[in-house]
């Protein structure tokens, strides 16, 4: 991040985001063709305003997976994939079945899925087993030594995976492999995170709706539509607000291209050909406020659901946090821990930049932070400080048992303020 962008961002408590109408009238979806496109331009043109874009195949042409997982004809190289992953258990969804608003999954040996896929192709892309889709496979976590791709610098400020890597529990890096016709129903990404998705081979069609439009795509009971192309949407009795919805943004993503999906944009995705893709969910200082708003909304929803027990249950507020975590994957206490790890890594990095002998952050992370620069680290700290201030004025957060928190937010906030004064 350059100095000008840093000072502009740090002078704003609330990140300005253009309305969808402004975006539609002036931009549509921009295509980034040349590899000399700078991180600062991506930051200012897409991350901050929260708008999608597509990167050309030049940005993935050096990836090993694009060389080894793909035949000369541009199809999945089943033989090579089997050499690498034959016995590996992988999660496989059935696109022809519905379980609530998703597709049910099963765990299969990789070789069994590939056998199915080959048979599916030979049978004209159909099978009595349905349309199976290998998705949400943590290949990077299971096979880090394979080094099949590298995260582009544009997506390297990735707090979500930084946190999960630090506590060594999980990650949000996935491989998807699916035949022509496989698809993912209408949804929004975890914690209202960003996502980036690169086609190793094959083509996808994306239907995207900007934040807020999903409210017009709910039925009379408040349930989100499963398939945004379903004729049922035309039923005004069932979907009374649908006519207010805008048309989705449609993007055809070719082999090698990367799509940036902004925070809170609901989407539905189709594989137009036999397709392999790399997908990451991620968040950072640019959409941290959106994640915090999402968490507050999730807790409010839980509180409404069990409001009748509020006065009769002494631990009602703690139970709300437990239920929220079981449904969402995180509660206020863990969110505070998340912010602590992100802030401490940047405080350590800035100490190292100033010549301090204090312990630095892990080497791989230090390299990432160094590539983005000290101004970016300072911006990150400014965004963490803003959210900490919001949390310290939030009644539900203040009800948490201080002993349950890994650190005292007031102390962390003061550390950040001291570091920011010296940086600015």
DSSP string, 320-389: HHHHHHHHHS--HHHHHHHHHHHHHHHHHHHHHHTT--S----HHHHHHHHHH-HHHHHHHHHHHHHHHH
Global pTM? Answer: 0.93
The CA-based diameter of the chain, rounded to the nearest angstrom, is 67
pLDDT band at residue 48 using 50, 70 and 90 as cut-offs:
very high
**Per-residue pLDDT tens for 133-142?**
999 999 999 9
Q: Is the pLDDT of residue 41 over 60?
A: yes
Sheet holding 183-187, edge to edge: 183-187, 266-271, 204-209, 249-253
**Per-residue pLDDT tens for 248-274?**
999 999 999 999 999 999 999 999 999
**Per-residue pLDDT tens for 195-224?**
999 999 999 999 999 999 999 999 999 999
Distance CA 130, CA 112 (A): 14
Q: Is the pLDDT of residue 169 over 70?
A: yes
Q: Is the pLDDT of residue 123 over 70?
A: yes
Helix (H, G, I), strand (E, B) or coil at 282: strand
214, 263, 322: which is closest to 17 by C-alpha? 263
Distance CA 7, CA 62 (A): 35
Helix (H, G, I), strand (E, B) or coil at 174: strand
* Strand ranges for 110-263 from DSSP E: 132-137, 173-178, 183-187, 194-201, 204-209, 249-253, 258-261
Q: Is the pLDDT of residue 26 over 50?
A: no
Distance CA 59, CA 126 (A): 33
Distance CA 407, CA 336 (A): 8
């Amino acid at each position: 991040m350059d100095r000008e962008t840093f000072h502009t961002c740090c002078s704003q408590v609330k990140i300005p985001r253009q309305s969808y109408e402004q975006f539609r009238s002036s931009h549509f979806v921009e295509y980034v063709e040349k590899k000399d496109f700078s991180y600062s331009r991506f930051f200012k043109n897409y991350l901050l305003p929260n708008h999608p874009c597509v990167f050309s195949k030049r940005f993935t042409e050096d990836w090993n997976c694009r060389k080894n997982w793909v035949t000369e004809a541009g199809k999945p190289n089943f033989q090579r994939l089997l050499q690498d992953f034959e016995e590996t258990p992988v999660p496989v969804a059935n696109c022809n079945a519905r379980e609530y608003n998703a597709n049910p999954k099963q765990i299969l040996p990789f070789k069994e899925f590939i056998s199915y896929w080959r048979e599916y192709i030979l049978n004209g892309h159909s099978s009595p087993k349905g349309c199976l889709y290998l998705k949400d496979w943590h290949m990077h976590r299971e096979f880090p030594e394979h080094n099949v791709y590298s995260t582009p610098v544009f997506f390297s400020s990735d707090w979500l995976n930084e946190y999960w890597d630090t506590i060594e529990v999980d990650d949000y890096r996935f491989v998807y492999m699916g035949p022509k016709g496989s698809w993912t129903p209408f949804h929004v990404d975890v914690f209202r995170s960003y996502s980036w998705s690169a086609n190793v081979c094959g083509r996808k069609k994306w239907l995207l709706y900007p934040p807020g439009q999903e409210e017009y795509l709910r039925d009379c009971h408040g349930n989100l539509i499963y398939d945004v192309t379903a004729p049922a949407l035309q039923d005004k009795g069932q979907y009374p607000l649908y006519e207010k919805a805008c048309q989705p943004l449609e993007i055809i993503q070719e082999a090698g291209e990367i799509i940036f999906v902004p925070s809170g944009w609901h989407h539905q995705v189709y594989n137009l050909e036999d397709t392999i893709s790399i997908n990451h969910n991620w968040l950072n200082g640019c959409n941290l406020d959106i994640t915090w708003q999402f968490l507050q909304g999730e807790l409010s929803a839980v509180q409404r659901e069990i409001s009748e027990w509020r006065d009769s249950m002494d631990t009602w507020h703690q139970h709300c946090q437990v239920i929220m975590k079981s449904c969402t994957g995180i509660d206020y206490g863990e969110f505070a821990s998340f912010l602590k790890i992100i802030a401490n890594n940047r405080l350590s990095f800035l100490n190292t930049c100033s010549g301090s002998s204090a312990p630095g952050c892990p080497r791989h992370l230090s390299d990432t932070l160094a590539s983005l620069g000290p101004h970016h680290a300072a911006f990150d700290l400014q965004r963490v400080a803003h959210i900490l201030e919001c949390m310290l004025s939030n009644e539900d957060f203040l009800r948490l048992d201080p002993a349950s928190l890994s650190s005292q937010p007031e102390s962390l906030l003061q550390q950040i303020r001291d570091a920011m004064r010296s940086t600015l």
